[in-house]
Structure 1
Amino acid sequence: MTVVLPTSARPAAEPALHELTCAPRRRGRVLRVPRWLRALSGPALLIALWWLASATGVLNPQLFPPPAAVAATAARLAADGELQTHVGASVWRVLQGTAYGVLGGGAVAVLAGLSRVGADVIDSTMQVAKAVPNFALTPLLIMWMGIDEGPKVLLIALGVGIAIYINTYSAIRGVDAQLVEAATTLGVGRAAMVLHVILPGALPGFLVGLRLALSSAWLSLIFAETINTTEGIGFLMARAQTLLQFDLSVLVLLLYAVIGLLSYALVRFLERRLLGWRRGFEGA
């Protein structure tokens, strides 16, 4: 015997079933946190710990000013236009040095990576250059080029160029030989092989080198801005040390940290744009 439920009784069960099937999706949307926000949680936690340590008296405010004092110093310098001037001067030097270093280091890496003779001539020379700290060249650069912008930009370019060369050269030599053999079998010419096989295969290594190069650029900037300059973040740091302005010293450290995060974000953006064809492990 078949029992037929009244039509009015059916909708009562359907919403319950709909809620059961859709509840996990709604919960997933609520709990999902944007990745960029998760990436900023670490720095935000450090600032919170800094504020807590200052509020509880763990940190001496005379030696390590609280966040409010550093923020007040930043606001004062920004209102005077001094902060923008120094940051702009440093960013411009880094941009120039990075551009020269990427072009020079990348070109030398390609010459050494594509040719055995080039590798024999260039690679040993670059290994010697890598072993010599470019900061030790500061006195010589001053004597050779004077105290203008030239030695500052060149010092940054040397640090960037070495980082680009090492990673790009290793990436070129790390391209799968089977891909090159397959391209040769298919009749691909030398120029097409370089453009479509070798350089795309070396692109991930180049971007790793760019990430290290940007860190080297800002590190080189600290020494570069000790060369008779009155503008730049390094100049602010030197002035803060001379006058024992601890709030300014902490502010400069925060500036370097923020610029480092922005540099990292730039390289990550390039990786997403240029390496969209590559699928790698992104963590569980």
Structure 2
Amino acid sequence: MADIDQHAARPLTAAWAKRAQGWLLPLAVLLIWETVVAQQWVSAHLLPPPSELAHTLLELTRSGALLAHIGVSVARVLAGFAIGAALAVALGAAVGLSPRVEALIDPSFQALRAIPSLAWVPLLLLWLGIDEAPKLTLIAIGAFFPVYLNLVAGIHNVDRKWVEVGRVHGLRTGALIGRVFLPAALPHVLTGLRGGLSLAWMFLVAAELMAATRGLGYLLTDGRETGRADLVLVAIGVLAVLGALSDSLLRLLETRWLAWRDVALTQEAQP
């Protein structure tokens, strides 16, 4: 029995050891950062040490301001991401499944994709004002293109043999889409969702530059205008943590939904 327990504990120990390796580089950077500032090689005003950032983070947390900013930003990202991803799935499926639709609208989407995020800001302000609408629209634009591109690529890469097998078994167009095309394109869709969520966080900062009074983007602006580098760095750090947590959630869903794949390297088998 003891041998069985030890054998079962080994994969768990290996998994924790692998995760711990990911903390080595951040901890080393923080240690070097603290040392450099303590030795006055860099001005603490321009680059506050991690100990000062921890104090600022604690103050913002105690006052409730940080949680309020996080709540507003998370709500904006989730809403904008949901809108952009839903439109991307609908239009991506239409483009991927219909050569006529692809010839009609895909060239326009490719041109729109090349427009930088900040270029949308003045136009959205003119059209939608300074309320939530332009912010959500900008985030939705950021989330749209990764999902759209990956879904179209996933549908285009469906093996022709699978389609032929489905037709042999009498699947009509609707059933063929639901039972062949979409499941086969699911890995691409999930990759697109991860990329879209990542861009949604990036576009959030640009969105909250548009006359925002709350949110992590506003905290960045407030730190810049008041000359407080600690606020700027804390906001950047919180954005990084939130982005990593949301990506980890999608990775977990990806692992569960794609458990049927027989791939050469899995997360456990990778060196």
Matched, 1:250 2:250: no
Rounded to whole Å, the distance in 1 between the matches of 2:11 and 2:68 is: 44
- Alpha-carbon separation, structure 1, partners of 2:12 and 2:129: 60
Change (3 A) 1:59 1:173: same
Cα-Cα RMSD: 2.3
> 1:146 aligns to what?
129
How many residue pairs end up in the alignment?
Answer: 264
Deviation at 1:118, TM superposition (A): 1.2
Q: For 2:103 and 2:136, locate their aligned partners in 1 and report how far apart those are by CA, in whole Å.
A: 29
Distance (whole Å) between structure 1 residues aligned to residue 12 and residue 107 of structure 2: 56
Q: Which residue does the alignment assign to 2:14?
A: 32
Whether contact under 8 Å (2:128, 2:134) holds in the other structure is yes
Quick one: distance in 1 between partners of 2:148 and 2:260?
A: 24
Q: Do the aligned partners of residues 26 and 52 (structure 1) sit closer, same or farther apart at CA in structure 2, a change above 3 Å counting?
A: farther
| Structure 1 residues 119 and 60, CA gap change in structure 2 (3 angstroms) | same
The residue number in structure 2 matching 1:61 is: 44
What 5-or-longer segments of structure 2 have no aligned partner?
none
Do the aligned partners of 1:135 and 1:155 also contact (CA within 8 Å) in 2?
Answer: no
- Give the 3-state SS of the residue equivalent to 1:231 in structure 2: coil
The answer for the alignment partner of 1:74 in structure 2 is 57
Residue 122 of structure 1 pairs with residue 69 of structure 2: no
Residue 94 (structure 2) aligns with:
111
Report the alpha carbon displacement of residue 218 of structure 1 after superposing the two structures with TM: 1.1
Tell me, in whole angstroms, the C-alpha distance in 1 between the residues paired with 2:11 and 2:164. 48
- Tell me the distance in 1 between the aligned counterparts of 2:140 and 2:52: 36
Distance 2:8 2:203 in 1: 50
What secondary structure does 2:151 align onto? helix
CA distance in 2, matches of 1:25, 1:117: 57
Matches within 5 A, 1:1-284: 32-34=14-16, 35-280=18-263, 281-282=265-266, 283-284=270-271
- The amino acid that maps onto 2:257 is L
- How many Å separate the matches in 1 of 2:249 and 2:174? 30
The one-letter amino acid of 2:234's match is L
What is the identity percentage for the equivalent residue pairs of Structure 1 and Structure 2? 35
Quote how far apart the aligned CAs of 1:29 are.
7.2
**Deviations for 1:118-175, whole angstroms, at most 9, x for unmatched residues?**
1111211211111222321111111111110000000000110111101111111111
- How far residue 27 of structure 1 moved from its aligned partner, in angstroms, is 11
Which structure: larger Rg? Answer: 1
The one-letter code of the counterpart of 2:14 is R
Cα 1:261/1:41, change in 2 over 3 Å: farther
Q: Relative to structure 1, is the Cα distance of residues 149 and 112 closer, same or farther in structure 2, using a 3 angstrom cutoff? A: same
Quote the Cα distance in structure 1 between the aligned partners of 2:189 and 2:180. 15
Contact 1:135 1:223 in 2 (8 A): yes
Shift of 1:26: 10
Deviation, 1:264, is 1.7
In 2, the alpha carbon distance for the partners of 1:51 and 1:238 equals 25
Query: Do the aligned residues in 1 keep the contact of 2:84 with 2:141 (CA within 8 Å)?
Result: yes
User: Partners of 1:33 and 1:105 in 2: how far apart?
Assistant: 35
Contact 2:117–2:206 under 8 Å retained in 1:
no
Checking the alignment, whether the CA contact within 8 Å between 1:109 and 1:165 is kept in structure 2 is yes
Runs of 4+ in 1 over 6 A off after TM superposition: none
SS in 2 for 1:32: helix
Q: 1: CA distance between counterparts of 2:160 and 2:201?
A: 36
Taking the aligned partners of 1:87 and 1:31, their CA distance within structure 2 comes to 34
- 1-structure distance, mates of 2:13, 2:90: 47
- The gaps in structure 1 that reach 5 residues or longer are 1-20
- The structural deviation recorded for 1:272 is 1.1
Q: TM-score, normalised by structure 2?
A: 0.90
Q: Note closer, same or farther for the CA distance 1:182–1:222 as it changes in structure 2 (3 Å cut).
A: same
